[in-house]
């Protein structure tokens, strides 16, 4: 397992089951397979796990499992999906009740519904270690004889396992730093021994005899509305899926969550004519609130990276005074403040209410009567309207004299570029290559404008830190040098904007 921070580890594994369910599992000798030099028998352990979920299995529907296990690496384990065969496992010490930290990580899924024990799974695990020629651990191979049943205690909750099931499976889990290609090298040997990749899901899903309840069918709407609602549904799911990563501080999770929030808000504004404004206007205001709260951490991250890169590029004689130390202090303080802001927002009832309202929006959309007859032409018209809005803002910005007023105008143009790009991307399933081409060119415009705004934020930060250094009697020469470099980069971006915009202006629908 690869550590990704604190008590979180990255788990990369594959599961196998016997081709003939009635035949005993015979693990082949994997010594000499690829980099595996020898196999060490680590004995047998009994793993006793109770799995928790809401009564309607919301965690399981999202590919998440929460268990309390004794034996082996005893404790509470929350497994969050990353990719097929890859999960992040968040661990907590063994306690009677569900640790508050783990409960918070699935709060966006549970929405206040209690987590209850739904299944008990007992595994008798025969464990082997695969080592290379230097004795380094490459992978663990466990042969599990599994028995699943109802959790102990009276009056089990609805949805709990009622009958006992039993099966045998093999897990191959990579060690930290091991090459994922090892799994491909081992698989032919396992298949030759009568094993096949398991598609039954994890032990919890198998214990329950399947996954969660099927999703309700999408509402019957017009062509344009169906495309917009599919986009809103995808972005709502992205928002919820990124919530644990934002809480854990996973790289880029907050930024991606903010993007999903902005895509939702942009879609509601672009296609507002399809919906009842009494519903979507307050919802748009709440999405703007969430994007603002999430943006604090993103801005800090961008500025820190820019300043670090600029400092590394400076010749040593030009770095005068404790510049690196002061920047580090600012970054650490800003990071702590940003983390508190993000966590407070995600822990608030306001946030949960927003998620519930988004679910209600896609499940029972407040469509205007005309929405039922809206076709793909309505999507193209809405995208063109956003493009025209962007054109007006770009024109105004380029006509404004350099200075704070132009910076503000360019920032307004950047927001319009995002909205136009998001509108084109959302319409691509219906409008095809033309919308995809437009989105690509608008992304280039957004990138130039985004770099310019990042430079504005960085210069503001340099003024703040320079003032603090001056009060402390430190040299401020380097801060001025960095400020000048940022000014030059901003001017370069402004010159590049005209050419990038010319291509985007010609890519209309």
Please tell me whether residues 64 and 111 are part of one structural domain. Answer: yes
Q: Is the predicted pLDDT of residue 24 greater than 90, yes or no?
A: no
Q: Is the predicted pLDDT of residue 377 greater than 90, yes or no?
A: no
Q: Is residue 218 part of a domain?
A: no
Q: What are the tens digits of pLDDT across the range 393-416?
A: 999 999 999 999 999 999 999 999
Q: What are phi and psi of 348, to 5 degrees?
A: -80, 155
Please tell me whether residues 193 and 235 are part of one structural domain. Answer: no
Q: Is residue 395 part of a domain?
A: yes
> Cα–Cα distance between 397 and 407 in angstroms, integer?
8
The region that residue 334 occupies, defined by phi over 0 for left and psi between -120 and 50 for alpha, beta otherwise, is alpha
The region that residue 477 occupies, defined by phi over 0 for left and psi between -120 and 50 for alpha, beta otherwise, is alpha
Q: How confident is the model at residue 446 (pLDDT cuts 50, 70, 90)?
A: very high
Please tell me whether residues 174 and 315 are part of one structural domain. Answer: no
Q: Is the predicted pLDDT of residue 476 greater than 90, yes or no?
A: yes
Q: What are the tens digits of pLDDT across the range 66-104?
A: 999 999 889 999 999 999 889 999 999 999 999 999 999
Q: How confident is the model at residue 218 (pLDDT cuts 50, 70, 90)?
A: low
Decide: 223 and 346 in contact? Cβ < 8 Å: no
The mean per-residue pLDDT over the stretch 381-389 comes to 93
pTM of the entire predicted model: 0.86
Please tell me the predicted confidence (pLDDT) of residue 1.
36
Please tell me whether residues 324 and 388 are part of one structural domain. Answer: yes
Q: Can you tell me which residue has the tokens 């991606």?
A: 256
The mean per-residue pLDDT over the stretch 32-58 comes to 95
Please tell me whether residues 200 and 233 are part of one structural domain. Answer: no
Please tell me whether residues 204 and 231 are part of one structural domain. Answer: no
Please tell me whether residues 153 and 278 are part of one structural domain. Answer: no
> Cα–Cα distance between 352 and 349 in angstroms, integer?
5
Domain residues for the domain of 114 are 2-208
Please tell me whether residues 120 and 250 are part of one structural domain. Answer: no
**Residues with Cβ within 8 Å of residue 119, at least 6 apart in sequence:** 50, 51, 148, 149, 150, 151, 160, 161, 204, 207, 208
Q: What are the tens digits of pLDDT across the range 44-54?
A: 999 999 999 99
Which of 143, 173, 208 is the last residue before a domain boundary? 208
Please tell me whether residues 200 and 294 are part of one structural domain. Answer: no
Please tell me whether residues 57 and 152 are part of one structural domain. Answer: yes
Please tell me whether residues 268 and 139 are part of one structural domain. Answer: no
Q: Is the predicted pLDDT of residue 383 greater than 50, yes or no?
A: yes
Q: Is 15 helix (H, G, I), strand (E, B) or coil?
A: strand
Please tell me the predicted confidence (pLDDT) of residue 201.
81
> Cα–Cα distance between 499 and 491 in angstroms, integer?
14
Number of C-beta neighbours around residue 385 at 10 A: 14
Q: Is residue 213 part of a domain?
A: no
Q: How many residues are recorded in the chain?
A: 509
Q: Is residue 198 part of a domain?
A: yes
| pLDDT, mean over the chain | 90
The mean per-residue pLDDT over the stretch 110-136 comes to 95
Domains in the chain: how many in total? 2
User: In this structure, what CATH number is given to the domain that contains residue 243?
Assistant: 1.40.20.10
């Amino acid at each position: 397992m690869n550590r990704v921070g604190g008590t979180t580890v990255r788990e990369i594994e594959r599961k196998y089951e016997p081709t003939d369910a009635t035949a005993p599992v015979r693990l082949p000798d994997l010594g000499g397979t690829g980099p595996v030099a020898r196999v060490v028998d680590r004995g047998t352990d009994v793993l006793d796990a109770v799995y928790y979920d809401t009564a309607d299995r919301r965690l399981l529907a999202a590919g998440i499992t929460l268990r309390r296990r004794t034996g082996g690496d005893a404790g509470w384990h929350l497994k969050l999906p990353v990719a097929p065969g890859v999960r992040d496992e968040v661990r907590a010490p063994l306690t009677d009740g569900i640790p508050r930290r783990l409960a918070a990580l699935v709060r966006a899924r549970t929405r206040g519904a209690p987590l209850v024990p739904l299944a008990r799974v007992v595994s008798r695990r025969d464990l082997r270690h695969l080592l290379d020629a230097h004795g380094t651990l490459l992978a663990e191979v466990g042969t599990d004889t599994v028995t699943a049943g109802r959790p102990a205690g009276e009056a089990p909750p609805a949805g709990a396992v009622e009958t006992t099931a039993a099966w045998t499976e093999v897990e191959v889990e990579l060690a930290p730093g091991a090459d994922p290609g090892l799994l491909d090298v081992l698989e032919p040997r396992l298949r030759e021994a009568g094993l096949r990749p398991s598609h039954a899901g994890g032990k919890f899903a198998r214990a329950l005899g399947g996954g969660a309840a099927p999703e309700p069918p999408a509402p019957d709407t017009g062509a344009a509305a169906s495309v917009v609602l599919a986009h809103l549904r995808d972005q709502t799911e992205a928002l919820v899926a990124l919530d644990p990563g934002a809480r854990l501080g996973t790289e880029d999770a907050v930024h991606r969550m903010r993007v999903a929030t902005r895509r939702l808000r942009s879609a509601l504004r672009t296609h507002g004519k399809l919906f009842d404004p009494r519903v979507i206007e307050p919802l748009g205001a709440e999405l703007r609130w969430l994007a603002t709260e999430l943006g604090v951490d993103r801005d800090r991250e961008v500025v820190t990276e820019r300043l670090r890169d600029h400092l590394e590029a400076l010749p040593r004689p030009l770095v005068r005074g404790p510049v690196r130390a002061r920047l580090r202090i600012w970054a650490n303080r800003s990071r702590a403040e940003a983390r508190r802001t993000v966590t407070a927002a995600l822990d608030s009832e306001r946030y949960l209410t927003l998620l519930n309202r988004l679910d209600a929006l896609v499940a029972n959309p407040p469509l205007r009567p005309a929405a039922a007859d809206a076709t793909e032409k309505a999507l193209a018209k809405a995208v063109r309207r956003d493009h025209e809005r962007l054109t007006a803002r770009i024109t105004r910005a380029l006509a404004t004299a350099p200075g704070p007023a132009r910076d503000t105008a360019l920032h307004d143009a950047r927001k319009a570029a995002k909205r136009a790009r998001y509108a084109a991307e959302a319409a691509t399933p219906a409008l095809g290559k033309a919308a995809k081409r437009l989105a690509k060119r608008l992304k280039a415009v957004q990138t130039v404008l985004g770099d310019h705004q990042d430079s504005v934020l960085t210069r503001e930060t340099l003024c703040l830190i320079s003032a603090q250094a001056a009060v402390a009697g430190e040299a401020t020469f380097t801060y001025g040098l960095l400020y000048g470099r940022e000014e030059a980069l901003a001017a370069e971006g402004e010159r590049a904007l005209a050419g990038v915009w010319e291509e985007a202006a010609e890519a209309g629908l």
